[in-house]
Amino acid sequence: MLPLLLKNVFRTLFANFRGKLVKKKRALLTLLGLAFFPFLIMSQTVDLFSVWMHIPTMGATFVVRFVATSFFAVLVLLCLTSLPSVMHHFFLAPDLSLLRALPINKRTIFLAKFVQVTLGTVGMYVAVGLPLLVSMCLALGAAPSIFAIMLIASLLFIFIPTGLSAIVAFALARLFSVVKMRRLATLILGLFIVVTWAGLQLVRLSRLNPASPDFQPQAVRDFAAWSAPGPLPSDWLVNSLYAATLAQWQTVGLNLAALLLSAAALACLAIVWRVRLDHKDIRMDAGRISKTARDIGTRSFLRPALAMLRKDMQVTRRDSRLLHSSLLLGAMLLVSPFVTSADVGNPGTVGLFMSYMPLTILTLIASSTLARQGLPLERLSLQYVLQAPVSLTSVLMTKIVRALLLIAPFTIVACLITAYKTGTAVPGAALAIAEHLSFVLCGAVTGSVVAVFTTNYAWSDPRYMTNALGAYSSTFIVLAVGAIGMSIIMAGELLGQQMVAFLLFFIYVFLVFWIGLRVSLARFRKLQWT
């Protein structure tokens, strides 16, 4: 029975590559997007590792230490990724009741589920973990056969996070509601990704690079002296490969055995425990929202728009995907002044303008991305808004205001940080905030236009309502719109006519807003809600 179940698991996994051509194209574009990650990581690490190999007395050891430490983070990431997935596939998946009704042993069912969860993490592993190992092997000058060991070790390794997550999930399921825990786990995963991303922006690997002017020998010694709390599966994986490059086959065998035994033990424990939990009372009750909806308390003509806005904000707050993307974009804005302004903050007016430019670009991209989500977040429920007595202008304005509300606070804080770091005077900082809020508006309107034109109103598959063209083109369109605005300000700075330039800039922003809204409305009215 297991092969049959696994066949279904693989069919589900590749379901997006079957069926309609549009669906296949979308899946292929997503895959191409993901394939970019390994190359990005390898382009960063291959050269760095080669340089580290020349650090006296500790070259190879240092590279291995670095990869093992990074792999500890990969292990945590995979565990956090698996946790909500385990809760879903082992307790909440809609096919579970059907599978239980079939003449199949429960252990077989849960083994198939275990494999299914593990397969779900393969993409993440290939995108983030595998490139590090490949870079390490290249730096250590590994023979081609070592890459085969790498694949075997990786195969054993990826079952471990699933096992660990399953144990944690089952322990939590005995104490709390699975539904609540799945939501919490998804939130924690999102926050981990946001914090890790922000942290990585502040990490300056150049301090560890002997070829860089920022090189700090003490940082190398500190890093070499630090050791993760081991022994960990990530260490076994990295050590097995390092030992293989040194032809220490006994160490290779021991580390691979440790991986194999851990994976097998965790899988067995998880499956047996899950079968036993079938006889226990597992809570599946959902979370309750304690507050009763408060009255908006405003004049009647604004009430429908405010109601739509409140609904959009509630959906954004509770939908983990939307919340994570908002937080990630917010974190990008907050981190950007620390990452970029130190390099370009030259004295002088134009230099000051340039020091804000990375923030301006990020502001435009962030606001357009969030505005682009505005219509797809409605999904099939859009029918309730469309058959209600509210104008399409109100609907579109709500989407634009949502993006403004989500991005404006981060933009203001990022402007203040940049102003502090560049020593901008108070009037200049206030003007920078006003300009950036205007750019947020430009981005939000542009995002809305792109959303109306490129959202697939495919009611049969609302998960993919924004098509790939929309996602890719919106960045270029919004940057083109922003570039005109930036050129106006820049021209004012160069010609010494700042006030005229700002006036022209604000007129330009108004025009973008007005034209964007008209164009969106014209298209919105023509759409058929079949």
Partner 1 sequence: MIKISGLTKSFDNVVAVDHLDLEVGDELFIFLGPNGAGKTTTLKMMTGLLTPDEGTVQLNGISMRDEPLAAKRQFGYAPEQPNLYEKLTPNEFIQFILDIYGAPDQGKARARQLFDIFELSERQHDLIEDLSGGMKKKVSLIAALVHQPKILFLDEPTAALDPKAARHLKDILRGLVRKGVTVFMTTHILEVAETMCDRIAIINKGKLCAIGALDRLRVQYGSGLSLEDLFLKLTGEIYSSKIDEFLQDA
The contact set with partner 1 (CB under 8 A) reads 179, 286-290, 292-293, 295-296, 300, 303-304, 306-308, 310-311, 314-315, 318-319, 379-381, 383-391, 528-530
Question: In the complex with partner 1, which residue's Cβ is closer, 173 or 259?
Answer: 173
Question: In the complex with partner 1, which residue's Cβ is closer, 459 or 510?
Answer: 459
Question: In the complex with partner 1, which residue's Cβ is closer, 257 or 293?
Answer: 293
Contact 321, 376 (CB under 8 A): no
Pairwise CA distance, residues 53 & 142, whole Å:
13
Contact 153, 241 (CB under 8 A): yes
Pairwise CA distance, residues 473 & 481, whole Å:
12
Pairwise CA distance, residues 488 & 491, whole Å:
5
Count of Cβ atoms closer than 10 Å to residue 88 Cβ: 22
Query: Which amino acid type is present at position 150?
Result: M
Q: Is 47 helix (H, G, I), strand (E, B) or coil?
A: helix
Question: In the complex with partner 1, which residue's Cβ is closer, 263 or 309?
Answer: 309
Phi–psi pair at 455, nearest 5 degrees: -80, 135
C-alpha separations of 345 from 64, 206, 299, 358, 439 in Å: 37, 20, 47, 11, 21
Helix axes 2-13, 106-124, angle to 10 degrees: 30
Question: In the complex with partner 1, which residue's Cβ is closer, 342 or 388?
Answer: 388
Query: Which amino acid type is present at position 268?
Result: C
Question: In the complex with partner 1, which residue's Cβ is closer, 243 or 452?
Answer: 452
Query: Which amino acid type is present at position 281?
Result: D
CB of 304 to partner 1, least distance (A): 4
Phi–psi pair at 117, nearest 5 degrees: -65, -40
Question: In the complex with partner 1, which residue's Cβ is closer, 311 or 372?
Answer: 311
Question: In the complex with partner 1, which residue's Cβ is closer, 250 or 300?
Answer: 300
C-alpha radius of gyration, the chain, whole number: 26
CB of 387 to partner 1, least distance (A): 4
Q: Is 370 helix (H, G, I), strand (E, B) or coil?
A: helix
Contact 270, 167 (CB under 8 A): yes
DSSP assigned state of 295: P
CB of 518 to partner 1, least distance (A): 18
CB of 145 to partner 1, least distance (A): 50
CB of 423 to partner 1, least distance (A): 44
CB of 82 to partner 1, least distance (A): 22
CB of 385 to partner 1, least distance (A): 7
CB of 393 to partner 1, least distance (A): 11
Pairwise CA distance, residues 154 & 132, whole Å:
12
